[in-house]
Amino acid sequence: MKFPGKVAFVTGAGSGIGQATVRAFVAEGAAVTVFDVNGASVRSVVEEIAIAGGRAYGFVGSIADSAHVEEAVFETVKRYGRIDYLFNNAGTELIAPLLETSVDQWDEVMNVNLRGTMLVSKAVLAEMVRTGGGVITNNASDAGLRGIRVNAAYSTSKAAVIHLTRSIALDYAQQGVRCNCICPGCIRTPLCERFNEEVGARHGRSGEDMLNEFVMTNIPMERVGTPEEVASVVLFLSSSEAAYVTGAVIPIDGGLTAGM
Ligand SMILES: NC(=O)c1ccc[n+]([C@@H]2O[C@H](COP(=O)([O-])OP(=O)(O)OC[C@H]3O[C@@H](n4cnc5c(N)ncnc54)[C@H](O)[C@@H]3O)[C@@H](O)[C@H]2O)c1
């Protein structure tokens, strides 16, 4: 096991990439805080881990609410003593070009994807500095690396997450904190399905049809990725095998953003 006795804090842990990463951390011996706004999924993930003999603490709350974030970090440290790894994964999607994006929708995407990631980073970073270090991995997106049509708010928020990653890496390397960013492309999760349904609806096509065409036209590996294929990169970045990696921005996209 890679992480016996270690503690991971995962946001958006009730579904998709977050859930797969929780399972991967637990399989390597870590205790995990399962943080998600969806109470039913938090309970289900925590129960699954308990049945498998792992250690998980569930917290239902929003990363955009500083009181929730402070409480979850406080309770994690009370239970497990420290936080070694943070996976800032929770995020929300909005399919719309700018003229169809209300100011409230813009604020909601920024509040969750950027402000929420900042709030969790700040609270956990303080603990990592206090205990002598740790590793933060932020989940941005291929949408943060270059523009994506009908994705104005989401793409902008994810580009900002990439820069927040670099700022943390620069400012806290001396305190033993590494901070990296992953940029998944098309990963088979509920969020990706909603994206394709909504984009498909704009073209009078099914989400699956839209996705298949996109994959065959744009992804050199000609397939979507799995949440487990993202989780394994998060675990690598968290591990001592990546001891000299900080400030990195790593696409996990089957070659999608390699070029035209
Ligand atoms: N699936 C993809 O193709 C893809 C591609 C690039 C980036 N991403 C990013 O990966 C991350 C995870 O997405 P996923 O595809 O696993 O989606 P998902 O919908 O399966 O999971 C997202 C989880 O985040 C939770 N969440 C949403 N808002 C929250 C909040 N304010 N506070 C706490 N939890 C919240 C949801 O309840 C859900 O459980 C997101 O940041 C997303 O932008 C996904």
Tell me, using a 6 A CB cutoff, whether residue 64 lines ligand 1: yes
Ligand 1 centre distance from Cα of residue 127 (Å): 24
Q: Is the pLDDT of residue 260 over 90?
A: no
Q: How far apart are CA 136 and CA 149, in angstroms?
A: 29
Ligand 1 centre distance from Cα of residue 168 (Å): 22
Ligand 1 centre distance from Cα of residue 14 (Å): 9
**Average pLDDT, whole number, for the chain?**
97
pLDDT in tens, 181-211: 999 999 999 999 999 999 999 999 999 999 9
The percentage of the chain sitting over the pLDDT mark of 70, rounded to a whole number, equals 100
Looking from the CA of residue 68, the nearest atom of ligand 1 is: 32
Tell me, using a 6 A CB cutoff, whether residue 200 lines ligand 1: no
CATH of domain 7-185+226-252: 3.40.50.720
- What is the three-state SS of the chain? CCCCCCEEEEECCCCHHHHHHHHHHHHCCCEEEEEECCHHHHHHHHHHHHHCCCCEEEEECCCCCHHHHHHHHHHHHHHHCCCCEEEECCCCCCCECHHHCCHHHHHHHHHHHHHHHHHHHHHHHHHHHHHCCEEEEEECCHHHCCCCCCEHHHHHHHHHHHHHHHHHHHHHHHHCEEEEEEEECCECCHHHHHHHHHHHHHCCCCHHHHHHHHHHHHCCCCCCECHHHHHHHHHHHHCHHHCCCCCCEEEECCCCCCCC
Angle, vertex CA 138, rays to CA 8 and CA 215, nearest 5: 115
Q: What is the pLDDT of residue 15?
A: 98
pLDDT in tens, 159-185: 999 999 999 999 999 999 999 999 999
Q: What is the pLDDT of residue 192?
A: 93
Directed axis angle between helix 39-51 and helix 16-27, to 10°? 20
Q: Is the pLDDT of residue 133 over 90?
A: yes
Q: What is the mean pLDDT of residues 61-90?
A: 98
pLDDT in tens, 11-70: 999 999 999 999 999 999 999 999 999 999 999 999 999 999 999 999 999 999 999 999
Looking from the CA of residue 194, the nearest atom of ligand 1 is: 19
